[in-house]
A and B are shown apart, each in its own frame.
Chain A
């Protein structure tokens, strides 16, 4: 019953996602028809076949498409669209988990300081990275060039989440309220650190501010390959804990008497959602409101059961971010998508607040 509902909703949203992806791929400066997009995608399909010489990849489709079209779709639009999907998926997933974990509808993926930690790492890299690599010299700059920013952001995020967790834990217990307050305090402190670095950013200022707004401009298949496995693995892990998350909504004492190892479960949920968020923020900067609004909206649609809510909310996040990023890159001057999500998200949130009583999960 639950499984069937989860599958039906997920299938519907997955179909919507594919549609949004294909439509988004046709939109942009260059006019590309949906048919051309379909051709490019189909041309990329490869089937492994085994013969005497080993495994070879056979492309069953060979539609004739102009080379520039293929390049625009395959190397510019699709990586950005797919990465946007992954980031939206990750943020909405982590947001859903955090709202359940904190039993608080105002929680979002960055509530314990993950995003701010990522921002410290990213800004530090942008401001001081160039000086660092040129000082070291040699081959390092080339290696660091691609990896540096996401790596610094990811490490900053994970270290911050872990730090907040350690501060809030005492005697093997981590009270949720303490965690929340420790997160707020650490975010405030790290905000000061970021401001200080921006003050001394010099040439790096523009890049740093741009990153902080959250955007998908530097998307690449490489970033997809880095983010996708992380998000996929922890999505499966979180899905396995969906029922525990439901029981946790009854309160920690009740959950414990129902056989849940509460502290261990909280650690798993916190770690998994922090890593998922870190992976998303590392490749896209701080894109706000997706992780707050999407879980909310989906909870109103499918109900509070996390077995259904986790996959549907994540898929809806993917759809939402691909759609908003399409709007972001359509304008005369490209805008960071974080501005769009916030500009759309906040009024929608206020609408929910006034239309419905959103005081409970």
Chain B
């Protein structure tokens, strides 16, 4: 269990952490997220005693870290650092065995418990296969797993991970975080600084969002990962949706093109419409969409990034008020893009538009639309003269 009580840290003139209070219980897996320089690594370094707080206290298992010896901390907290210098010829098993250092006296030889801990650590991190290879012969990702194994061999109640997945392939990203989650389920307190918000949301029980040395929010991933808060922390617009496979929040950062004064309405559903909406929003163009059947792929995208969306129940006639709502959006838009063959309802909406664009390959009503490719679309939309004052994004 870790408890930080209004911890402040100055490095030189800079305040790196400012009044951070946080508590992580046994069996909890907390993700620290936040932009570069937010203080994630610093926070981890106060938990393992590498940095002493200028203000406040850090306790691990009820003991003040600043009053513990290195050896006592080594038995309580294991750390997987972001970078580690393994540029020499030790064998993997020897490096993992170094994790036993805080448990061994100066002259003792390895005990049965030491050997068992090393073996289990090698096993669980999937590194046993190269246990007798030299660490200098390993790839960056393999080394990171070796350092994880070393931390496991330490057999501590608290485990700190600083970017544990940074140089791992997708298979080992998932394996490593699953292992961290399992370790938490076994009762360890696990804290990980993670850049990948989707992975953090998927594997951690809770997320703490750090920005400028302060905790903006902490709690369950779906409570903390909110587009507005993420924009405050990271300074980038993003769309928060739900991963259709894991059911956990997924965050898509959008390019920081400033929101322009163009407005495009998108007609038609499916993957192509979804992609079109994404592209337009990415270019800083305001997007509205509809009428779309509920549950359509484009509807999900539009719900997270479009400024307005009109939907109707699928497999039935579209109610008139829905068509009118969509028509008024199309009317206000500088242009309307047709991304799929028009339904009757959408054909009505299209008539309300001042300018029609159609993606290549899509049949258009009366040849009234200019045909563009997906790649040309944003340029074409920008070239449209603004006819209406745009509705400001909130």
- Whether A360 and B90, one on each chain, are in contact in the complex, defined by CB atoms closer than 8 angstroms, is no
Q: Within 8 Å of chain B (Cβ to Cβ): is A262?
A: yes
- Whether A251 and B84, one on each chain, are in contact in the complex, defined by CB atoms closer than 8 angstroms, is yes
- Whether A250 and B86, one on each chain, are in contact in the complex, defined by CB atoms closer than 8 angstroms, is yes
Residues of B within 8 A of A2 (CB): 109
Q: Which residue of B lies closest to A265 (CB)?
A: B70
Cβ distance B94 to chain A, nearest Cβ, rounded Å = 7
Cβ distance A258 to chain B, nearest Cβ, rounded Å = 4
Q: Within 8 Å of chain A (Cβ to Cβ): is B71?
A: yes
Determine, out of B97-105, B208-216, B319-327, B359-367, the stretch whose residues face the partner at the interface. B97-105
Residues of A within 8 A of B89 (CB): 299, 303-304, 360-361
Of A261, A262, A305, which one neighbours B94 at CB under 8 angstroms?
A305
Residues of A within 8 A of B49 (CB): 256-257
Query: Given the complex of chains A and B, what is the CA–CA distance between A25 and B326 in angstroms?
Result: 105
- Whether B70 and A260, one on each chain, are in contact in the complex, defined by CB atoms closer than 8 angstroms, is yes
- Whether A361 and B87, one on each chain, are in contact in the complex, defined by CB atoms closer than 8 angstroms, is yes
Of A254, A259, A359, which one neighbours B84 at CB under 8 angstroms?
A254
Q: Within 8 Å of chain B (Cβ to Cβ): is A247?
A: yes
Residues of B within 8 A of A253 (CB): 50, 81
Residues of B within 8 A of A254 (CB): 79, 81, 84-85
Residues of B within 8 A of A232 (CB): none
Query: Given the complex of chains A and B, what is the CA–CA distance between A247 and B85 in angstroms?
Result: 11
- Whether A256 and B88, one on each chain, are in contact in the complex, defined by CB atoms closer than 8 angstroms, is no
- Whether A240 and B107, one on each chain, are in contact in the complex, defined by CB atoms closer than 8 angstroms, is yes
Q: Which residue of B lies closest to A254 (CB)?
A: B84
Q: Within 8 Å of chain A (Cβ to Cβ): is B75?
A: yes
- Whether A257 and B50, one on each chain, are in contact in the complex, defined by CB atoms closer than 8 angstroms, is yes
Query: Given the complex of chains A and B, what is the CA–CA distance between A259 and B102 in angstroms?
Result: 5
From B50, B85, B136, name the one whose CB has the most chain A CB atoms within 10 angstroms. B85
Cβ distance A246 to chain B, nearest Cβ, rounded Å = 7
- Whether B109 and A3, one on each chain, are in contact in the complex, defined by CB atoms closer than 8 angstroms, is yes
Q: Within 8 Å of chain B (Cβ to Cβ): is A243?
A: yes
Query: Given the complex of chains A and B, what is the CA–CA distance between A258 and B49 in angstroms?
Result: 11
Of B79, B81, B98, which one neighbours A246 at CB under 8 angstroms?
B98
Contact with B along A282-306 (1 / 0, CB 8 A): 0000000000000000010001110
Residues of A within 8 A of B74 (CB): 257-260
Residues of B within 8 A of A359 (CB): 87
- Whether A261 and B69, one on each chain, are in contact in the complex, defined by CB atoms closer than 8 angstroms, is yes
- Whether A257 and B48, one on each chain, are in contact in the complex, defined by CB atoms closer than 8 angstroms, is yes
Give the residues from 220 to 272 in chain A that come closer than 8 angstroms, CB to CB, to chain B. Answer: 240, 243, 246-247, 249-251, 253-254, 256-262
Give the residues from 336 to 359 in chain A that come closer than 8 angstroms, CB to CB, to chain B. Answer: 359
- Whether B102 and A258, one on each chain, are in contact in the complex, defined by CB atoms closer than 8 angstroms, is yes
- Whether A240 and B84, one on each chain, are in contact in the complex, defined by CB atoms closer than 8 angstroms, is no
Cβ distance A197 to chain B, nearest Cβ, rounded Å = 41
- Whether A257 and B98, one on each chain, are in contact in the complex, defined by CB atoms closer than 8 angstroms, is no
Q: How many residues of B contact A (CB 8 A)?
A: 34
Q: Within 8 Å of chain B (Cβ to Cβ): is A103?
A: yes
Q: Which residue of B lies closest to A264 (CB)?
A: B70
Q: How many residues of A contact B (CB 8 A)?
A: 26
Q: Which residue of B lies closest to A262 (CB)?
A: B70
- Whether A250 and B73, one on each chain, are in contact in the complex, defined by CB atoms closer than 8 angstroms, is no
- Whether A249 and B88, one on each chain, are in contact in the complex, defined by CB atoms closer than 8 angstroms, is yes
Q: Which residue of A lies closest to B104 (CB)?
A: A243
Residues of B within 8 A of A247 (CB): 98, 101
Give the residues from 76 to 132 in chain B that come closer than 8 angstroms, CB to CB, to chain A. Answer: 77-79, 81, 84-90, 94-95, 98-99, 101-102, 104, 106-107, 109
Query: Given the complex of chains A and B, what is the CA–CA distance between A226 and B8 in angstroms?
Result: 54
Query: Given the complex of chains A and B, what is the CA–CA distance between A94 and B211 in angstroms?
Result: 48
Residues of B within 8 A of A304 (CB): 88-90
Q: Within 8 Å of chain A (Cβ to Cβ): is B154?
A: yes
Query: Given the complex of chains A and B, what is the CA–CA distance between A127 and B79 in angstroms?
Result: 56
- Whether B88 and A257, one on each chain, are in contact in the complex, defined by CB atoms closer than 8 angstroms, is no
Query: Given the complex of chains A and B, what is the CA–CA distance between A249 and B94 in angstroms?
Result: 12
Residues of B within 8 A of A246 (CB): 90, 94, 98
Q: Which residue of B lies closest to A2 (CB)?
A: B109
Query: Given the complex of chains A and B, what is the CA–CA distance between A305 and B89 in angstroms?
Result: 9
Cβ distance B183 to chain A, nearest Cβ, rounded Å = 17
Of A249, A251, A259, A361, which one neighbours B73 at CB under 8 angstroms?
A259
Cβ distance A96 to chain B, nearest Cβ, rounded Å = 13
Query: Given the complex of chains A and B, what is the CA–CA distance between A258 and B75 in angstroms?
Result: 8
Residues of A within 8 A of B79 (CB): 254, 257
Query: Given the complex of chains A and B, what is the CA–CA distance between A360 and B87 in angstroms?
Result: 6
Cβ distance A3 to chain B, nearest Cβ, rounded Å = 6
- Whether B75 and A103, one on each chain, are in contact in the complex, defined by CB atoms closer than 8 angstroms, is no
Of A243, A305, A361, which one neighbours B101 at CB under 8 angstroms?
A243
Q: Which residue of B lies closest to A103 (CB)?
A: B85
- Whether A243 and B106, one on each chain, are in contact in the complex, defined by CB atoms closer than 8 angstroms, is yes
Contact flag A259-B106 (CB < 8 Å), given A304-B89, A304-B90, A360-B88: no
Residues of B within 8 A of A303 (CB): 89-90
Contact flag A257-B87 (CB < 8 Å), given A243-B106, A247-B101: no
Give the residues from 182 to 230 in chain B that come closer than 8 angstroms, CB to CB, to chain A. Answer: none
Residues of B within 8 A of A261 (CB): 69-71
Query: Given the complex of chains A and B, what is the CA–CA distance between A360 and B85 in angstroms?
Result: 10
Query: Given the complex of chains A and B, what is the CA–CA distance between A360 and B109 in angstroms?
Result: 28
Q: Which residue of B lies closest to A257 (CB)?
A: B79
Cβ distance B1 to chain A, nearest Cβ, rounded Å = 18
Given A257-B78, A259-B101, A260-B74: 15 more A-B contacts, CB < 8 Å: A246-B94, A246-B98, A251-B84, A254-B79, A254-B84, A257-B50, A257-B74, A257-B81, A258-B74, A258-B101, A258-B102, A260-B70, A304-B88, A360-B87, A360-B89
Q: Which 3 A-B pairs have the closest CB atoms?
A: A259-B74, A259-B102, A259-B71
Could you list 25 A-B pairs, sorted by A, with CB under 8 Å? A3-B109, A240-B106, A246-B98, A250-B85, A250-B98, A253-B81, A254-B81, A254-B85, A257-B49, A257-B50, A257-B73, A257-B74, A257-B78, A257-B79, A258-B150, A259-B71, A259-B75, A259-B102, A260-B70, A260-B101, A303-B90, A304-B90, A359-B87, A360-B88, A360-B136
Interfacial residues, chain B to chain A (CB-CB below 8 A): 48-50, 69-75, 77-79, 81, 84-90, 94-95, 98-99, 101-102, 104, 106-107, 109, 136, 150, 154
